[in-house]
Each structure stands twice: as C-alpha cells, then as structure tokens.
Amino acid sequence: MASANAGLDVVMPVAKFWGNNLTDAVNNGSVATERLDDMNTRLLAAFYYLNQDEDFPENSVYPYNVKHEIVDVREDHASLIREIGAAGTVLVKNVNKTLPLSNPRFLNIYGYDAEVKASPWNNPSRFGGGYEENFGWNTLNGTLITAGGSGSSTPPYVISPFKAIQDRIIADRGMLRWDFFGLTPTVYANAEACLVFINAYASESFDRTSLTDDFSDQLVNNVASNCSNTIVVIHSAGIRTVDAWVDNENVTAVLFAGVPGQESGHAIADVLYGDVNPSGRLPYTVGRSEDDYGALLNSTVDPSNPAFLQSNFSEGLYVDYRDFDKRNVTPQYEFGYGLSYTTFGYSDMAIAPVSNASLPSFPSPSVPIVQGGHPELWQVLYRVAVNITNTGDVAGHEIAQLYLGVPNAPQRQLRGFERVGILQPGESREVEFALDRRDLSIWSVTSQGWELQKGRYAVYVGASSRDVRQQGEIVVQ
C-alpha cells in the first residue's frame, strides 16, 4: 500500500508482491481507484500511442509450442548489430600500437569466451536455440553476447570471435592454434599474437559476488608468461577489474567489448584488424582493485529478511566516478575512458548564454507541471562549443564529453557527450553542447523543487571524466 500510494506503478514479479494484495488494497479503499487509474494511464499510453490496438500483428513467437506464421522484421539487422558492436568496443590498453593487427598469418586463440558452447560441461540450453552461452552460470560458459534475464534473447545465430577470426586467417592462407578450455594452454612460439577471450556474466535474480575471476586471471597470466604479445578481450555485463594482469609487460592490448549480440565475432574482428577504429568509452569506472569501490561494492542484506535487499542510499549522488572523485581514489580506467588508433586535440572552447535576462532560481509556478517535469527545466540556458581535431594519422570518431561542476554537488558531473562524425587526419570540426536549466539545477529539499543556484559553475570538456582538455566557467547571478 505504501509503495502504491507513493507513486510506484509496477512491481516485478507482480504475483509475489502486489497481485491480489493490490486488488485487496483497492477494494478496501487503502489504495484509491484514482491511483490505480493513474498507474494504468502510464502503462497503456505507449500501447495506444503506437496504435497497437489497431490491426497490430499477432505475436509470432509465444507460446513456443504453437506454430506461427514467420514474421521477419530484421531487414539489415545484422549489419547494424555488427556496426554497433564494433562502435561500443572500448580499447583501454594498446602498447606501441599493438593493434590493429597487420595481416597476421599465425595466431593463437585461448579462452572459453572465444567460441560458441565452448565448455563440454555446460548444461543444455535453457531457452532453446543451442546458445547456452547467453544464460550460462558457470565460469566456462562460452562466448557472452548478452546478459541474462528478461532482457536477453535467443538469436537466430551467433558469430563467435573464433569463427570470425578463423575466416580471416583462412582468407589470408594463415594458421590458427587454439585451446578453449585449458588453464595452462600450449603457446606456439611462431604466433604473431595470442588472443585471450574471457567474460563476466550477470543476470537479474542474483548479484555478482566479485568483480574478478580466478580462472580467467590465471589464464591470462599463464598465456602472457609464454607470449610477449598477449591481447585480452573481455565480454562483460558490467565492471570487471583487471589488476591481476593488466600491468604484465607481455599484455600488450586490452579491450572491453561489452555484450555485443549475435554479430559479436565480426564486430571484434573489425576492431582487431583495423576495419573499424575503436571509439567506445567506458560507461563505468574500472578500479585498481575491488577495494577501490569501498561500501558501494555490495548490497547490504538484512539476514532476518533476505528476500529484500536493503538500500539506504546513504551514498547520495556519489556513485561510480563521482564517488572516486570525492574520495580522491585513482582508478585503473576512469568513467568515459577509451583509446583510439589515432589522437585528437581540443581547442577554442566558447561558452555563450542563450539570453542575457536574469534567471529566477525556480521555474515559474504559474506553468503547469506535465509528465516529464516542469517545461522550463528543458529550456536551454547556455551553449558550449569546442573544436576537435584529428591529430593522428588514421581516420576516426572522437567522443567529446562535457562535465559540469555544480555548486553544492559532486565536483564533476556528466552533462553531455557527442560522437563526432568521422574525422580524417588533420580535419577539424566544431562540437556544440546545449545546457538546459535542469543540467544546472539541484533538487532543493526545502522548496521541493529544482533550484538554479547563484554562483560559479565550472565547465570541463575532454576525453573522459579525468582527461580534461578545455575548461571554462559559467556565472549565474
């Protein structure tokens, strides 16, 4: 009753927590029918907005034991997945331009993540299609293309990293040697590089107990001890620390490749071979060790009621990079970090107000508040422009990021980012960021509204949360 009356629209799973309990609460008046109608308005709005009540196609998948007409909505789906998978790959280490690979003729490939159904000890697929690596719970779980739970899917096929690289080696009349299971695999000395594929699986219904994995860490170190050009690819659903091996001088390149979907192998091969210049950026901070995350690492659990993980939100706004900044902890790789096969320069930052009129501290109370917030919160107050130049010798995208220093708030907060269209060597382009009232506001618990404070706001533009290239200031009077 308390959560429903406080504004919660949906609880999952419904039957366990609300279900008949909500029905009883409405029937006895504990939750008003108007509140129930309010929930349903938001739940059904998208259904009617997309005209799903008018001649909408029948479901062509569920239930699984009934034959349906096949509806193919993919069009050029595969090439888009491949493009997005490559664009999201984050290069975090690249010693002496190890990558991209230069037409290699002999490669070693290691690790359970390199191939579909890598481990012979897996249980049969839970969701059909034979792609149990999507849902594997044990360490040797096959190549990871998606995290588990309701957001995952059974794809029509999977291109594994091994298949994609093997196809290229075959075309180049080269040679591969591989071991998907071994902890101490044979390393062939003639190989030009050793590729190690590992992953970190996650799903709804459980929390990962660690950001490390002993088997994977040992595998990387064992390969690197015998191979002076060891390249590590991590497919992970979230943070994975790398302190156990990242400083090994024989680990020459490291890529965080996320969970890229069915075209996974093609996407990573495109990056490894230089068909795509990596431009992905970390959406989280990778600490130097698990200890770097402090109290934020694990949830607190009330042993007397373990079904409900307790979150007291004492961290406030200080999550991830904002917490690292507050505690002055140097990470391994900061939020927003990512390397490229080229380099970029930033120059000529300019900050301009949209209007010279005096700005009230709060949005006008005479304007009705609508779903999404007060309309004035989205009025642009300032525009920030900066020039980005490709200073290297390879065409590529840059991800320019704007962070704002808001008074009485975390010292640096992401307020905008732009993926700059591909720049040729020597080419420059101006990038503009728009800052609206909401970007500059904090929530006032006293006034119960979004407050635009008077004072000085630092403006940082750069390549990550800690790689600031241009700095300026906004003064709100």
Q: Provide the pLDDT for residue 459.
A: 98
Beta bridge partners of 352: 383
Tokens for 449, please give them.
């509204």
Q: Provide the pLDDT for residue 438.
A: 97
β-pair type (449-452, 441-444): antiparallel
Report the alpha-carbon distance of residue 101 to residue 112 in Å, rounded: 22
The answer to whether the CB of 281 falls within 8 A of the CB of 337 is yes
Q: How far apart are the first and last CA of the chain?
A: 44
What are the E-state strand segments in 237-358? 251-256, 300-301, 309-310, 344-353
Report the alpha-carbon distance of residue 296 to residue 319 in Å, rounded: 8
Angle ∠(209,213,214) on CA atoms, nearest 5: 125
User: What's the burial of 442, exposed, middle or buried (CB within 10 Å: 0-12/13-18/19+)?
Assistant: middle
C-alpha to C-alpha distances, 344 to 101, 260, 347, 414, nearest whole angstrom = 22, 26, 10, 20
- Spans of all domains in the chain: 2-49, 77-272, 344-476
Report the alpha-carbon distance of residue 36 to residue 26 in Å, rounded: 8
Q: Provide the pLDDT for residue 140.
A: 61
- Record the pTM: 0.88
Mean pLDDT by 10 residues, the chain (477 residues): 93 79 96 96 91 82 74 83 97 98 97 76 36 46 82 82 98 96 95 96 76 95 98 95 98 97 96 98 97 78 61 87 97 98 98 92 94 92 98 98 96 97 97 98 94 97 98 96
Report the alpha-carbon distance of residue 313 to residue 414 in Å, rounded: 20
Q: Can you say whether residue 455 is alpha, beta or left, with left for phi > 0 and alpha for psi between -120 and 50 degrees?
A: left
Q: Provide the pLDDT for residue 120.
A: 41
- So what's the architecture of 344-476 in CATH? Sandwich (2.60)
Superfamily of domain 77-272: Glycoside hydrolase family 3 C-terminal domain (3.40.50.1700)
Report the alpha-carbon distance of residue 197 to residue 167 in Å, rounded: 17
Q: Provide the pLDDT for residue 149.
A: 74
Report the alpha-carbon distance of residue 176 to residue 253 in Å, rounded: 19
Instruction: Assign 103 to helix, strand or coil.
Output: coil
Beta bridge partners of 417: 401
Q: Provide the pLDDT for residue 16.
A: 73
Q: Provide the pLDDT for residue 305.
A: 62
Q: Provide the pLDDT for residue 146.
A: 87
The answer to whether the CB of 266 falls within 8 A of the CB of 159 is yes
